[in-house]
Homo-oligomer: A and B are copies of this chain.
């Protein structure tokens, strides 16, 4: 490491700029050049759906520092000491000569920059589905600042009355909200997966969110791969196995692929997931070249496998690691657990770690538990129900994942759980977690603790929880809710026996011991206790509905 080395960074967003700025802080005499092909740099891409929805009035808010300065090339030059060159394509990395060759998108001129150390932060490109025409103004991706501005403009001009959203990940869901709530447009959300938000939620956890979106007039088609889009005179026709949909505009948001062309062309090692292989110091297979952000390949802490997590929060952290290491530090970026959150209308949805499906695919001996609880003390005003699903390994009791939704608080529980995942947490650690408790913030018994208890009870007592969407029509259903609760929100199953929990110990002899019995209550707490009582009383085949009727019927 020399004090006045030349550092070149390709890509001027979270990872690249953070790496550059951090290096400059540590190496004031270094010459640091950051090159980007775009016109806008350092924008909060995650905020773009909120520009379209109108929650953020001016798109430029995404480009301002917290104290109001636009983060453009000038800002990075004067405030951070970085030379930032925009609207310039990097055409080639010459590793032997240690230089890069660029071409200005404005003048067409080429230029070269030599480097001692190079940082590749070229991000990712949206995946394009075969069968989708290119070059249509009515079909867009939602990746760049320009993408957001274009869609916002089309809405503003009244050009979109009906929008097709291909891909029901966070972006698709956020845009569905924006289209309807802000612009009164009809949104059609289409995904090939069995449910929306498939990377975050298992099917039964996604269903209530889908129903909620439908109640806000969003059309949803899952298990519905796109077969093609054709352009007509005044719009588009989206073709799927579930029908053809006429829309004015379509957004393809089915994910991104690491942008690794430059890296591949110069022979850097790429991983199985398609990203640039880096070690924990974010060094590529060339010790003078680092890579960070969407273009680098991460490792999943739980599966040990490569994972693609195109998140600004992680890109930023990786940038800092590179900047510190350029400055002589020894910082690491470890494997990730993959936390995610999305707000859809008033519904908060979040997850971390593996879904049940992902955990099974990874070969774990999967146990699951569902939990319904209030997000804050149940006697405190404005409490909301919080719905959680816990995934763990039955053999080791190792925690694997948590997913949840609520119109109240859910993200806190996900973040605490992620901290446990990061430290190889087990079910027992959930029961040992401490929460800053006061009635406006949590119940005395936190939902995270409760779901840990549920899983542990099920495991130790051999109790079986059925998924809230399980079909139980052919079983003897025992409803242990209060008579009034049961009357207010009846279960759809025909043969229901209502024995309120308060009298259950006295009346449980009335329950047939020879049938398959399923116990239901509102949240899965009373029913689990009742199931245990039935089991102790000799009932051979008894289970309960996890998460209770609130999860089964919708809150």
Contact = CB atoms under 8 A, between A and B. Distances in A.
Interface string A515-555: 00000011100100100110010000000000000000000
A342 interface: yes
A462 interface: no
Contact of A432 (B422, B438, B444, B533): B422
A79 B501 contact: yes
Given A341-B437, A350-B436, A81 B505 contact: yes
Interface in A425-469: 425, 429, 431-442, 444-446, 449, 453, 460
A313 interface: yes
B432 A66 contact: no
Contacts of A341: 436-438, 441
Contacts of A433: 415, 418-419, 422
A431 B379 contact: no
Among A47, A55, A434, A453, max chain B CB count under 10 A is at A434
Interface in A398-426: 411-412, 414-416, 418-420, 422-423, 425
Nearest to A27: B536
Nearest to A535: B28
A11 B436 CA distance: 25
A320 interface: yes
A506 interface: yes
A446 B313 contact: yes
A107 interface: no
B25 A532 contact: yes
Oligomeric state, in copies: 2
Contacts of A536: 28
Nearest to A485: B67
Given A64-B379, A317-B449, A481-B67, A503 B78 contact: yes
B438 A343 contact: yes
Nearest to A435: B415
A481 B79 CA distance: 12
A205 to B, nearest CB: 15
A341 B56 CA distance: 31
A79 B505 contact: yes
Contact of A316 (B66, B336, B436, B445): B445
A351 interface: yes
A258 interface: no
Contacts of A374: 66
Given A78-B503, A78-B505, A431 B377 contact: no
Contact of A436 (B69, B336, B414, B446): B414
A337 interface: yes
A56 B420 contact: no
A311 interface: yes
Given A78-B503, A436-B415, A47 B422 contact: no
Contacts of A67: 481-482, 485, 521-523, 526
Interface in A47-69: 47, 50, 55-56, 61-62, 64, 66-69
Contacts of A352: 434, 436
Contacts of A311: 437
A24 to B, nearest CB: 9
B434 A336 contact: yes
Contacts of A474: none
B418 A420 contact: no
A422 B373 CA distance: 24
A14 interface: yes
Contact of A320 (B453, B522, B532): B453
A425 B436 CA distance: 18
Contact of A69 (B378, B411, B482): B482
B66 A337 contact: no
Interface string A178-209: 00000000000000000000000000000000
Contact of A422 (B68, B411, B434, B522): B434
A170 interface: yes
B431 A317 contact: yes
A521 B79 CA distance: 14
Interface string A84-127: 00000000000000000000000000000000000000000000
Given A341-B441, A438-B170, A532-B25, A415 B418 contact: no
22 contacts: A28-B533, A44-B444, A46-B437, A66-B373, A66-B378, A66-B522, A67-B521, A78-B502, A78-B506, A81-B505, A317-B449, A320-B453, A338-B434, A339-B434, A341-B438, A341-B441, A343-B438, A348-B440, A350-B441, A412-B415, A415-B415, A419-B420
Given A28-B533, A67-B523, 18 more contacts: A44-B377, A47-B377, A47-B379, A50-B439, A55-B381, A61-B379, A62-B379, A67-B481, A68-B482, A313-B444, A317-B431, A336-B434, A339-B435, A341-B441, A352-B436, A412-B412, A412-B416, A415-B434
